[in-house]
Structure 1
Amino acid sequence: MNKEVQLLQLAIKAGKTVSGDRLIPAIQSQTVCLVLMNRTCGNNRKKKLRNKCAFYQIPLIEWDASLFDQISWKVINAYGITDDSFAQAFMKERTGDVDGI
């Protein structure tokens, strides 16, 4: 299994993620450190998440649908990671550095 998927699953179990209708208000209140979005997400949702993350300067990563399928049996198109340590570990695993956060 992918290390990034394992980190996200651990963050979900620890209660350090936000999804669904609570994601946009969490971005606006800047309690989210990183946003993960499914590439198959609808165009309206994609545009809204991109614009909000760009305005509030929150990193946004687009993931393949296959990675989202490995996380849970629930259909969720985006996650926001609220814990800075999880976000840094995720970015370090993804890019090798944490300068993006």
Structure 2
Amino acid sequence: MNPKLTQILGLAMRARKVTTGEELVVRAIQSKQARLVLLSTDASANTVKKITDKCQYYSIPCYQPLNRQELGHAIGKEARVTLAVTDVHFAQSIQRLLTPIS
């Protein structure tokens, strides 16, 4: 687990720049509020396909850096399968630390 990544996610969450939950993330993608999407490494195949397809269609970067427990822990919540960062500066900081899903 990357401590810098979890630190940035925690800051973004406290700044209210994170959306969690599959349906809310899909809505954020469709409304182009999402600047970056994170999926857990242990997300179901259906969820991965649904979210990555939406991200590709709307040209939003999507990454799978952490498992659901680590994602939840990073934002101070229970396990999370997916989350969207809605602030461009937080998204850029996170992107520098990650490699995209191909």
TM-score over 0.5 (shorter chain): yes
What is the CA–CA distance in structure 2 between the aligned matches of 1:55 and 1:93, rounded to whole Å? Answer: 23
Larger Rg over CA atoms: 1
Which shows bigger deviation, 51-60 or 65-74? 65-74
Picking from 57, 82, 89, the partner of 1:85 is: 89
| Amino acid corresponding to residue 44 of structure 2 in structure 1 | G
How far has the Cα of 1:14 moved from its partner?
0.8
| Amino acid corresponding to residue 53 of structure 1 in structure 2 | C
Which shows bigger deviation, 59-68 or 38-47? 59-68
Picking from 39, 42, 49, the partner of 1:40 is: 42
Alignment gaps of 5+ in structure 1: 96-101
Alignment gaps of 5+ in structure 2: none
What is the CA–CA distance in structure 2 between the aligned matches of 1:92 and 1:18, rounded to whole Å? Answer: 20
Say if 1:14 and 1:57 are closer, same or farther in 2 by CA, change over 3 A. same
8 A contact 2:25–2:84 mirrored in 1: yes
Provide the TM-score with structure 1 as the length reference.
0.84
Name the SS of the counterpart of 1:18 in structure 2: strand
Name the SS of the counterpart of 1:30 in structure 2: coil
Q: Percent identity?
A: 31
Alignment of 1:27-66 (within 5 A): 27-65=29-67
Name the SS of the counterpart of 1:6 in structure 2: helix
Q: What number of residue pairs does the alignment pair up?
A: 95
What is the CA–CA distance in structure 1 between the aligned matches of 2:72 and 2:25, rounded to whole Å? Answer: 19
8 A contact 2:41–2:66 mirrored in 1: yes
